[in-house]
Amino acid sequence: MRFISFSIWIAILLISLQAGGQQQDGSVLERRVSIHAERQPLTTVLDQISWQAKVYFSFDASLIETDKMVTVKAIDKSLYFVLNQLFNPDDFSLTEMENQIIITKNQERKKGEQTVEPDTIPIKYFFLSGKILDRKKKNPVSYASVSVFNKPVGTITNADGEFLLKLHPQHINDTLIISSMGYARIFMPAHKLLDEDLILLEPVTIRIREIKVTAISPDKLLENIRENLEKNYTSYPKLMTAFYRETVRQDGEYINVSEAVVEILKAPYINTFRNDVVRLMKGRQSPDVQPFKWMNFKLQGGPFTITQLDVVKTMETFIDKDYQHHYNYKISRVVRYNDIPVYILEFEPVNNIDFHGFIGEIYVHRETFAIVHARFGFDRSGLKKATPILVKRTPPGVKARPSFVEYHVNYQHYQGKWQLATTRASIKFKIRSRVDNINSEFHSVSDLLITDIQPTELKRFRPDESFSRRDIFVEMIGSYDPKFWENFNIIKPDEDLRNAMQKLTSGN
């Protein structure tokens, strides 16, 4: 039988952790300036910009007309925007080195000749941030996708609708796609986020006649999903880079935050029994935001287990033909996903089944029959049946039961195939002990964000560097490092997590 099993190990153990740090700075070209210059010498304008932005300019005065009269108007605009008004990007290039911007004139190149960046100048990534809201209700749009068009580079918004996207300078003029279920997509130049950090998404629904909804039955839809797997999902292994975050709260207070960069050797979806393999590149553990009360809460499996939420790869029971008779299905409606209609197929376990069936919904692309999103979990009966799998160990005299379990998985379209994009697991447990007068709730949230996808010839990772289902993630990583993330894309922390960390580091 196939199933998702988040194995939980609850044990009495206190851990001493170290203090946190801040995210490193991005490109100096992100800095904002305000300037209003009417026919002033270029050198005068550059001096004003230099003073405001605390940067220095270097250039060959014989190639640039420094006494040229220029006009520029900008209110709270990025250096990138202002300098591109002064120096045509087709004619000039901007290179930064610490707090210095080097302006060079583009040389005419012979056909086929390519430019090479000097190895001596470190690459400074652009850190693009913003907030996405529903245009009508002005509510934050959580877990919206922000990605570079036709490239496996992107991130998602947090629960507050905020995001942080780190881009190599070569992508700053590329097109971004901003999308979320039930909203119209937005296409915009990446550099626009340097000057505008509020994005409004337009809610979109489509009305269709009932006959069009019922024109395909749930059984036929599931059959089409399985028959089109080879067309929709890759038949070749991929090497994925991913960000993983695991948080635990006890009675609403954060007690642990752990993060990592991992590599996933993604096995082909078609005609293979190979499993995905995960290895740790670097990881860190944040300080305890509040002291542990009574007992520590640990998750087994970590990044390995959350990759098993790829329901297409694992052929979860609500997709598998052999288990189809254990579920009731209903096509409830059609909504737009990336401007293309998708069926929403709802499912729930039939009565009196002997295993923990899931309840939830999957979004199925109406044209290709690819699964592009799935949300599923357990009802009350399923939680009771899943308890022996979810809770692996408790201290003597302590009772633990799951009170809420929900999983999410999203796929992105890249190079003609649907690829794993994000997964999320949210689990709550009630912990009680009459002897010790304990009545507490633990809430664990695990997030995985795929940040890069590359073809690979790798067949396996070494056993000593691979995660297993039995591994405890927090026991395999180091302490908090202020410059840990470098240029890796992450999921920006929610406001409540940032506030909790701020209280800790300030000593309040």
- What is the pLDDT, as a whole number, of residue 483? 64
Which is more confidently placed, 230 or 340?
A: 230
Cα separation, 310 vs 4, in Å, equals 10
For residue 279, count other CB atoms closer than 10 A to its CB.
16
Over residues 157-182, the pLDDT tens digits come to 988 899 988 888 888 889 999 988 77
Specify the pairing of strand 8-11 against strand 391-393.
Answer: parallel
328: its two tokens: 């009731």
- What is the pLDDT, as a whole number, of residue 212? 47
Confidence of residue 219 (pLDDT cuts 50, 70, 90): very high
Q: Burial-class residue 183 by CB neighbours within 10 Å (0-12, 13-18, 19+).
A: buried
Give the pLDDT mean for 76-92: 86
Cα separation, 460 vs 266, in Å, equals 10
Which is more confidently placed, 23 or 322?
A: 322
For residue 496, count other CB atoms closer than 10 A to its CB.
13
- What is the pLDDT, as a whole number, of residue 272? 67
442 SS3 class: strand
Give the pLDDT mean for 256-266: 87
Which residues, other chains included, contact 89 with Cβ-Cβ below 8 Å and sequence gap of 6+? 173
Give the pLDDT mean for 119-140: 83
Which is more confidently placed, 157 or 466?
A: 157
The neighbouring-strand residues paired with 294 are: none
- What is the pLDDT, as a whole number, of residue 299? 66
Cα separation, 34 vs 52, in Å, equals 8
Over residues 176-204, the pLDDT tens digits come to 999 887 788 899 999 999 888 899 998 87
272: its two tokens: 């293979």
Q: Is 197 left (phi over 0), alpha (psi -120 to 50) or beta?
A: alpha
Confidence of residue 113 (pLDDT cuts 50, 70, 90): very low
Specify the pairing of strand 92-97 against strand 100-105.
Answer: antiparallel
> Which of 213-217, 309-313, 373-377, 399-403 bottoms out in mean pLDDT, i.e. has the lowest?
213-217
53: its two tokens: 């932005």
152: its two tokens: 């496996």
Give the pLDDT mean for 101-124: 60
Instruction: Name the residue among 196, 295, 302, 307 with its Cα closest to residue 258.
Output: 302
Specify the pairing of strand 162-167 against strand 126-134.
Answer: antiparallel
The answer to whether the beta carbons of residues 489 and 262 sit under 8 Å apart is no
- What is the pLDDT, as a whole number, of residue 217? 92
Give the pLDDT mean for 439-465: 87
